[in-house]
Amino acid sequence: MIPTQSRFASLSAPALPPPPTPRLQNQPSVQSLSSTVVRLPLHTRRRRQQRVRRRREVRALDAAQAFDFESRASEEMEQRARLKIAIVGFGNFGQFLGRKFTAQGHALLAYSRSDHSAAARDVGADFFCDPHDLCEQHPDVVVLCTSILSAEAVLRSLPLQRLRRSTLFVDVLSVKEFPKNLLLHLLPPDFDILCTHPMYGPESGKHGWAGLPFVYDKVRIGDSEDRIDRCDRFLDIFAREGCRMVEMSCAAHDENAAEIQFLTHTVGRLLSKLDLKSTPINTKGYETLLQLVENTCSDSFDLYNGLFMYNKNSTELLERLDIAFDSLKKELFGRLHDILRKQLFESPSSGTLAKRN
């Protein structure tokens, strides 16, 4: 708004001749002029007075026009800032993201294997059952939001030739090296690619996204101004919600995510196998464990499986977890054995064995 005003203020400025004196500004200029042109013939004075009046009218009109242009121009700017975003995979996370996109005024199109038209209406999106119809809408941005396991099949099934040549493709998969390679391999070279990972979900982000990490890697963004601007406008959606924006390579993301994410989900899933119950004497620590089970198990098993299958660092982490658990057990049982051994062999007269005998 502010840049628009100043731009148009400077555009309209030349149409307004600078006021010759402060007096001319404050008083009717006809009178001021009449005093300076007193020796001119009457008809000349009248013509001058008319001309001055006309000039004053033009000034007023011009000011009004400039104001109208401003509001129209700011509307146009808002319109231009508005992205047409297509979400492919309108499940749990797709709907969660889509709600924010429409709340920020972006146009939203949704496509999924299942019919989510009611959910789309609720979010304010147009739902498409046919990917051809979706692509013919020529979205500015296509967000790939399917399960990690189905991403390749879904991407291969899209009629990419129906999209505009410069389309920006974004993925939000929870692993990053895999979709990066997939998009580089399957998309035409003219498409832009932005790999992202909003590191929160419908459960952890239900009270807002402020302070939550958003990782992104501009894998391939054309160097023209409009492409750079489009990518920035997309990232701005998350920045405006207060996300902690972290630019990081896909490889570095996966290294970190194995510990941060796969470990968290594994512990949550492991605890869920214990079928833990809330009790009247819950401690804070125990409440945290219950919360962890709820957070992780509300995501699909496909998501968890994808974290394991498509992040090579996850296998190593699972092995480290096994080793750590074994070592912890060894430490506990080692101490227990020490005590038992002492009781059995070091003072047999006072030991359990001796008593029994």
Q: Which of 302, 309, 317, 321 binds ligand NAP (CB under 6 A)?
A: 302
Determine how many CB atoms are found less than 10 A away from the CB of residue 92: 16
Q: Which of 108, 142, 145, 195 binds ligand NAP (CB under 6 A)?
A: 145
In whole angstroms, what separates CA 305 from the centre of its chain? Answer: 24
The span from the CA of 152 to the CA of 159, in Å, is 14
| Part in contact with ligand NAP (CB under 6 A); list of ranges 84-92, 181-189, 308-316, 320-328 | 84-92
Pairwise CA distance, residues 88 & 91, whole Å: 9
CB nearer to ligand NAP: pick between 45 and 99: 99
Which segment (54-62, 162-170, 233-241, 302-310) binds ligand NAP by CB under 6 A? 302-310
Closer to ligand NAP by Cβ: residue 120 or 231: 120
Q: How far apart are CA 82 and CA 121, in angstroms?
A: 19
Residue 190 CB contacts under 8 Å (≥ 6 apart), including other chains: 165, 166, 222
CB of 228 to ligand NAP, least distance (A): 25
**Residue 89 near ligand NAP by CB under 6 A:** yes
Nearer to ligand NAP, 191 or 304 (CB): 304
Size of the site for ligand NAP (CB under 6 A): 27
Contact predicate 43/93, CB 8 Å:
no
CA torsion angle 268 269 274 277 (round to 10): 50
Of 29 and 146, the one with the shorter C-beta distance to ligand NAP is 146
CA–CA separation, 82 and 277 (whole Å): 47
CB 266: neighbour CB atoms within 10 A? 18
**Of the candidates 308, 195, 284, the residue with the CA atom closest to the CA atom of residue 246:** 195
Q: For residue 275, what are its two tokens? A: 């079928």
Length of the chain (residues)? 357
CA distance 103 to 101: 5
Residue from 300, 308, 317, 351 binding ligand NAP (CB under 6 A): 300
Smallest separation (angstroms) from ligand NAP to the CB of 124: 18
User: Binding of ligand NAP at residue 114 (CB under 6 A)?
Assistant: yes
- For residue 356, the minimal CB distance to ligand NAP (Å) is 58
The distance of closest approach from Cβ of residue 90 to ligand NAP in the complex, given in angstroms and rounded to an integer, is 6
* 128 in contact with ligand NAP (CB under 6 A): no
Burial status of residue 150 (CB atoms within 10 A of its CB: 0-12, 13-18, 19 or more) = middle
Which of 93, 234, 238, 310: binder of ligand NAP (CB under 6 A)? 93
Q: Which residue has the tokens 């000034």?
A: 59
Report the residue closest to ligand NAP, judged by CB.
Answer: 201
Question: Which of 153, 276 has the CB closer to ligand NAP?
Answer: 153
Minimum distance from residue 161 beta carbon to ligand NAP (Å): 20
Choices 147-155, 250-258, 278-286, 344-352 (CB under 6 A): range interacting with ligand NAP = 147-155
Q: Which of 221, 216, 152, 214 is nearest to 183 (CA)?
A: 152
Q: What separation in angstroms does the CA of 222 have from each of 190, 228, 270?
A: 8, 7, 44
Is there binding between residue 154 and ligand NAP (CB under 6 A)? yes
Going residue by residue from 201 to 230, which x/- string records binding to ligand NAP, judged by CB under 6 A?
x-----------------------------
User: Which one of 29, 94, 193, 219 is in contact with ligand NAP (CB under 6 A)?
Assistant: 94
Residue from 125, 155, 173, 237 touching ligand NAP (CB under 6 A): that is 173
Q: Which amino acid is at 300?
A: S
**Residues of the shown chain interacting with ligand NAP in the complex, contacts defined by CB under 6 A:** 89-94, 112-114, 116, 145-148, 150, 153-154, 172-174, 198, 201, 299-300, 302-303, 306
